[in-house]
Amino acid sequence: MGLYDNLRKIDPYVPGEQPQNKDVIKLNTNENPYPPSSAVLDVKERYNTDNLKLYPDPDIKKLSDELAIYFNGKYNTNLTKENVFVGVGSDDVLSVAFQTFFNSGKAILFPDVTYSFYDVWADLYKIDYDVVPLREGFLIDPEDYNRDCGGVVIANPNAPTTVALGLDAIEKILDDNSEVVVIVDEAYVDFGGESAIKLLEKHENLVVVQTYSKSRSMAGARIGYALGGYRLIKAMEDVKFSINSYTLSNLQIAMGVASLRDEDYFKKSVEKIISTRDRAKEKFKELGFNCPDSKTNFLFVTHESIPAVEIFEYLKTKNIFVRYFRKPATIANYLRVTIGTDEQMDALFKALEEYIDKK
Ligand SMILES: *Cc1c(COP(=O)(O)O)cnc(C)c1O
């Protein structure tokens, strides 16, 4: 046996490009174009040397507590820190959730078009899975998830389709799968979706995952969290403490708390994205594009005559980056365009107009 024969072989998730060139208009990874709250930039833990000498709090109590209080205020729930699991972005949280919840040996279910990390984790952790085709218009039909399975994962709103599912449909999936965990990945919920957090008390099998990366403009800070019943959360903690106890630095924890305390800024920046998105949608239509109704900070567009891949390559020559997925075939003629600032979107539309005029 050679040295390399026993290495783990896996097709990894491929994140969107992070070009180092500052002149790029970057609409390819669903980051928020606005800065985080100034309170986040001001956290005084930055200057505290103990934060480098000592290990951070492995239980991340301060942030878990603050998240519970924040959502209790918002949804009138009775969450405590025992209902909160915090991780290094929601990718880390989802990865721990997959390892914790999907051990039945039965296939888990998620849509055929969704966040392309789910099948990577399933492969990595040797979890069997079946993908469920979306219906016409990229819709998720809850009836398709009414079958024997090892668990369900739904991104709501879904990515990259931008389509949101109503809470009544989520509730049907929860009812039909009461013996297994249903993960609802709400990375984009703040841009117009309805959060399943208010269903937590009624549905023991629900785990809601959210992130600071998109609506809180903190993709670089790497903070995500799961909310669920204390027994599910405790099981996730046990897995985490079997891998790496110190996942978040004190600086990240303090930044996470500061962001939650500046609700005004949060609301304003989310509203700004939504209004730019709705304007952009109209502009795309004028230029011959179509897209589903978006409840996210991006649009999923297809042109009536020009192939998506050509537009993608052209925009790159103009230093404008959007996201193109070659697979699966049902979305191979779509582009995922993150909502940037008004100026960035104007530059995008100027480039598109020039291109389409010449066609
Ligand atoms: C962006 C995204 C995530 C991961 O975000 P983190 O930066 O790791 O918090 C998870 N799920 C979906 C659907 C996403 O789009």
- Residue 213 Cβ < 6 Å to ligand 1: yes
Strand 152-155 and strand 182-185: the pairing is: parallel
Residue 301: name the closest of 311, 290, 313 by CA: 290
pLDDT attached to residue 48: 82
Distance (angstroms) between ligand 1 centre and the Cα of 336 equals 15
pLDDT attached to residue 96: 98
pLDDT attached to residue 7: 92
- Please name the helix (run of DSSP H) or strand (run of DSSP E) that holds residue 173, with its range, or none: helix 167-176
Q: Which atom of ligand 1 is nearest to the CA of 213?
A: 7
- Residue 185 Cβ < 6 Å to ligand 1: yes
- Residue 315 Cβ < 6 Å to ligand 1: no
E-strand stretches of 19-70: 25-26
Residue 51: is it exposed, middle or buried by C-beta count within 10 angstroms (0-12/13-18/19+)?
middle
Q: Which two tokens stand for residue 250?
A: 């004190």
Q: Specify which residues 226 forms β-bridges with.
A: 85, 209
Distance (angstroms) between ligand 1 centre and the Cα of 187 equals 6
E-strand stretches of the chain: 25-26, 84-87, 108-111, 129-132, 152-155, 182-185, 206-211, 224-228, 289-290, 298-303, 320-321, 323-324, 335-338
User: Under CATH, which number does the domain 38-263 receive?
Assistant: 3.40.640.10
Q: What is the distance between the terminal CA atoms of the chain, rounded to a whole angstrom?
A: 57
pLDDT attached to residue 45: 76
pLDDT attached to residue 327: 86
Q: How far apart are CA 135 and CA 208, in angstroms?
A: 24
Alpha carbon 129 to chain centroid distance? 20
Q: Which atom of ligand 1 is nearest to the CA of 211?
A: 9
Q: How far is CA 210 from CA 76, 89, 115, 184, in A?
A: 18, 9, 14, 9
Distance (angstroms) between ligand 1 centre and the Cα of 356 equals 33
Instruction: Note whether 195 and 183 are within 8 A (CB).
Output: no
211, 294, 296: which to mutate for ligand 1, most atoms within 8 A of CB? 211
Q: How far is CA 59 from CA 72, 82, 248, 358, in A?
A: 20, 10, 9, 58
- Residue 224 Cβ < 6 Å to ligand 1: yes
Distance (angstroms) between ligand 1 centre and the Cα of 2 equals 38
Q: Which atom of ligand 1 is nearest to the CA of 92?
A: 8
Q: What share of the chain is helix, strand, coil (3-state, %, to 5)?
A: 45, 15, 45
Q: Is the peptide bond before 160 cis (omega within 30 degrees of 0)?
A: yes
Mean pLDDT by 10 residues, the chain (359 residues): 89 87 92 96 83 92 98 97 98 98 98 97 98 97 98 98 98 98 98 98 98 98 98 98 96 96 97 98 97 98 97 96 92 97 97 92
Distance (angstroms) between ligand 1 centre and the Cα of 275 equals 22
Q: How far apart are CA 225 and CA 86, in angstroms?
A: 4
Q: Where are the domains of the chain?
A: 25-35+267-358, 38-263
- Please name the helix (run of DSSP H) or strand (run of DSSP E) that holds residue 101, with its range, or none: helix 89-101
Which residues lie closer than 8 Å to 219 by C-beta, 6 or more apart? 29, 31, 32, 89, 212, 213
Which residues lie closer than 8 Å to 335 by C-beta, 6 or more apart? 300, 301, 302, 308, 311, 312, 322, 323, 324
pLDDT attached to residue 51: 82
- Which fold would CATH assign to domain 25-35+267-358? Aspartate Aminotransferase, domain 1 (3.90.1150)
Q: How far is CA 21 from CA 26, 36, 320, 321, 351, in A?
A: 10, 22, 11, 11, 19
- Residue 219 Cβ < 6 Å to ligand 1: yes
pLDDT attached to residue 66: 98
- Residue 90 Cβ < 6 Å to ligand 1: yes
Walk across the sheet containing 335-338 and list its strands: 289-290, 298-303, 335-338, 323-324
- Residue 89 Cβ < 6 Å to ligand 1: yes
